[in-house]
Amino acid sequence: MRRIYLGILSGLVSLFSLTGTAQVRFDHLHRELGSLIWHTPGTAVFTLSNEGDTTLVIRDVDPDCGCTAVDWPRTPIAPGQKAVIKAVFDAELLGHFEKQIAVYTDQSDKPYYLTLSGDVVVERKENMGDYPYHVGDLYLNADNVEFDDVRRGDQQVKTITIYNAGNKTFTPSLMHLPKYLTAQYEPANIRPGHTGRILLTLDSEQLRTFGLTQTSIYLSRFAGDRVGNENEIYVSATLLPEQTFTAEQLAIAPELHLDSTTVNMGAMNGKKRLKSEVVITNTGKSALEISALQVYNPGLSVSLSKRSLKPGESDKIKITVNANTHYFKGRRRVLLITNDPVRPKVVIDITVKK
């Protein structure tokens, strides 16, 4: 089987069909599944984009082994749209595995090759340092999930790993999932001393507005469990606006400049709040429009007197950290979205000593 590898640019792998004007792009050609427990299937998700100007059809997806089940959309993919190919490896044989999947489209007789790899083990020795958050006897690798740099049409997938340190089998379930999130549980039941995964998939088409969307979901520990800070998982999604510019527009475009993208606020030391400022300047040639100014952590507040800056004009972003910021999940960050074509999204990181 012939493998086709092309260069990686900005973390994305671009593959071009040999005929017509269709352009096919995969977010990844290879997925590493890590260590899988024997008889516990693992899932790899590959996102395909049709960046051409003709409709794309996936004619077939052919794994090189019956141990891998695949699923893909049978309907045509319109220009500018995306599709997800899912591959599930059954983990029935112990040892290292590397499986390939051939993806055939109507644009070329030659397939694109996707790869998933990992190891199947009888028992996995866990490093508890990898699970800093716990909900009773359940230990999690994260209690904060961030979907960054989302474009309309994306279906990003994030993984939460759970280690069951209790003496009873745990059936994972999430409460208060919004419409734009779906969850897949692998395996459906996590035995004592074993790990499982929750695959969270974001459907960007369901996000209402550009900028930051935030919510809290909750890990259910048992039937009838209640929501609370202990079992809360904080989720944020940053949807970027679709912007296209001509060469003439780029020549006179606005340009955002901050005097700092990191702010060290020091220690609270019994204070109710800490304050700081960041200077924002438009160093471009046309008006800079700030369409979003938001915070990731509810313990922060931010303000800006102007949302439009003329060329050469500056203003101050006023940042306040409240004493209760440590009680909230979510990183302390400030988000700006502007019409700067080079840097449409800028994040200011805030640090506070306890």
Q: Is the pLDDT of residue 347 over 60?
A: yes
**218/115 Cα distance (integer angstroms):** 33
**309/289 Cα distance (integer angstroms):** 7
**277/102 Cα distance (integer angstroms):** 53
Q: Which pLDDT tens digit goes with each residue over 207-240?
A: 998 999 999 999 999 888 999 989 999 999 999 9
- When the pLDDT of each residue in the chain is averaged and rounded to a whole number, the result is 88
Note the residue count of the chain: 354
**Residue 241 DSSP label:** P
Q: What is the pLDDT of residue 129?
A: 81
Q: Are 342 and 285 in contact (CB under 8 A)?
A: no
Tokens of 128: 């508890």
Q: Are 240 and 253 in contact (CB under 8 A)?
A: no
Transcribe 183-207 into DSSP letters. EEEESSSB-TT-EEEEEEEE-GGG-
Confidence of residue 22 (pLDDT cuts 50, 70, 90): low
Could you give all domains of the chain from N- to C-terminal order, each with its CATH number? Answer: 8-121 (2.60.40.10), 128-239 (2.60.40.10), 247-353 (2.60.40.10)
What's the Cα-to-Cα distance from 155 to each of 105, 147, 150, 171, 227, rounded to whole Å? 20, 10, 8, 25, 27
189: which residues sit within 8 A by CB, 6+ positions away?
169, 170, 171
Q: Is the pLDDT of residue 279 over 90?
A: yes
Residue 243 or 296, more confident: 296
Transcribe 55-95 into DSSP letters. -B-EEEEEESSTTEEEE---S-B-TT-EEEEEEEE---S-E
The mean per-residue pLDDT over the stretch 77-85 comes to 90
Q: What is the pLDDT of residue 243?
A: 80
The mean per-residue pLDDT over the stretch 240-253 comes to 89
Q: Is the pLDDT of residue 100 over 80?
A: yes
Q: Is the pLDDT of residue 165 over 50?
A: yes
Q: Are 282 and 310 in contact (CB under 8 A)?
A: yes
User: Which range, of 7-11, 257-261, 309-313, 344-348, averages the lowest pLDDT?
Assistant: 7-11
**3/154 Cα distance (integer angstroms):** 26
Instruction: Give me the numbers of helices (H) and strands (E) for the chain, helices first please.
Output: 1, 28
Cis peptide before 41 (omega within 30 of 0): no
**21/106 Cα distance (integer angstroms):** 12
Confidence of residue 193 (pLDDT cuts 50, 70, 90): confident
Transcribe 194-240 into DSSP letters. -EEEEEEEE-GGG--SSEEEEEEEEE--STTPPP-STTEEEEEEEEP
Q: Which of 322, 329, 331 is nearest to 217 (CA)?
A: 329
Amino acid residing at 60: D
Q: What is the pLDDT of residue 21?
A: 58
Q: What is the pLDDT of residue 191?
A: 86
Confidence of residue 18 (pLDDT cuts 50, 70, 90): very low
User: Which range, of 128-132, 205-209, 212-216, 309-313, averages the lowest pLDDT?
Assistant: 128-132
Confidence of residue 40 (pLDDT cuts 50, 70, 90): confident
Q: Each residue of 180-208: b (16+ CB within 10 Å) or e?
A: bbbeebbbeebeeebbbbbbbbbebeebe
84: which residues sit within 8 A by CB, 6+ positions away?
45, 46, 47, 48, 72, 73, 155
Q: Are 88 and 43 in contact (CB under 8 A)?
A: yes
The mean per-residue pLDDT over the stretch 299-312 comes to 95
Q: What is the pLDDT of residue 16?
A: 42
Q: Which helix (H) or strand (E) holds 249?
A: helix 247-251
| % the chain with pLDDT above 70 | 92
User: Which range, of 4-18, 149-163, 335-349, averages the lowest pLDDT?
Assistant: 4-18
Q: What is the pLDDT of residue 269?
A: 87
* Ramachandran area for residue 248 (φ above 0: left; ψ -120 to 50: alpha; else beta): alpha
pTM above 0.85, yes or no: no
